[in-house]
Amino acid sequence: MTGVDSYKDFFDRIRDLKKAYLLIYKKGAEQSDCAFRNLSASLERHPEVSVFTADTNLVRDIHSQYGVTTAPSLLVFEKGLVKNILKGCHHPGFFDAIFDNAFVVRASDPGKPSKSVTVYTTPTCTWCNTLKIYLRRNGIRFTEIDVSADQSAAEELIRRSGRQGVPQTDIGGEIIVGFDKGRIDNLLDIQESG
């Protein structure tokens, strides 16, 4: 992990990177220290990953550039653009899954039409992040809808499923509530080994 001391310093470092990560944390705060520790443990197994850190006690201009109001937050960048924000402290295995599968692309079977996949989430939902990582790891393209920011989508989802919780996934018109790996695997023909 590489500490950065300003937005300019950080942006200059990631400008030419295909993929990079930024942990915005507050040293001395329990959740932030947990995220830093667990991310560090994961990076021992993934030394090739470019991860930068910004301690909000020292760096005051990065979090506002990306609209981050919660520490810890891990920002995922592709070609200099934010692609995802993961909030809170997560187990090292959670970070392993992100790093292990960041570049996996699933070859589609030309004999089977691909199903439309929509994932309904909220920014603070840990299971939503787990589900999205799982789908990405298996090369499944999906549309994400944040129901906390889209009231009409939230109402439509409740009407269709009869449930308010997230994540919910629409796979080809069938709604799955929660991270039901078995049903997801069945509907998307995911066959993981091991």
Identify whether residues 11 and 86 lie together within a single domain. yes
**Best CA proximity match to 101, nearest among 133, 143, 141:** 133
Strand runs (DSSP E) across 5-103, as ranges? 19-25, 51-55, 73-78, 81-87
35 found inside a domain: yes
Q: For 42-100, how does the pLDDT look when each residue is reduced to its tens digit (9 = 90+)?
A: 899 888 899 999 999 999 899 888 888 889 999 989 888 888 888 888 888 778 777 76
108 found inside a domain: no
Does 39 score more than 90 pLDDT?
yes
How many structural domains comprise the chain?
A: 2
Q: What is the predicted pLDDT for the residue at 102?
A: 47
Q: What is the predicted pLDDT for the residue at 176?
A: 95
Identify whether residues 126 and 95 lie together within a single domain. no
Identify whether residues 10 and 78 lie together within a single domain. yes
Identify whether residues 49 and 84 lie together within a single domain. yes
Coil vs helix vs strand at 33: helix
Identify whether residues 11 and 70 lie together within a single domain. yes
Which amino acid belongs to residue 174?
E
CB 70 within 8 A of CB 24: no
Q: What is the CATH number of the domain that holds 34?
A: 3.40.30.10
Identify whether residues 78 and 153 lie together within a single domain. no
Identify whether residues 84 and 171 lie together within a single domain. no
CB 142 within 8 A of CB 118: yes
State the Cα–Cα distance between residues 152 and 163, nearest whole angstrom: 15
Query: What would the DSSP string read from start to end of 14-54?
Result: HTT-SEEEEEEE-TTSHHHHHHHHHHHHHHTS-TTS-EEEE
Q: For 177-192, how does the pLDDT look when each residue is reduced to its tens digit (9 = 90+)?
A: 999 999 999 999 888 6
State the Cα–Cα distance between residues 1 and 40, nearest whole angstrom: 7
pLDDT band at residue 108 under the 50/70/90 scheme: very low
Domain that includes residue 11, residue range: 2-100
Identify whether residues 84 and 130 lie together within a single domain. no
- Tell me the pTM: 0.55
More confident call, 136 vs 158: 158
Q: What is the predicted pLDDT for the residue at 123?
A: 86
Identify whether residues 171 and 85 lie together within a single domain. no
State the Cα–Cα distance between residues 86 and 90, nearest whole angstrom: 9
Q: What is the predicted pLDDT for the residue at 138?
A: 80
Q: How many CB atoms lie within 10 A of CB 81?
A: 8
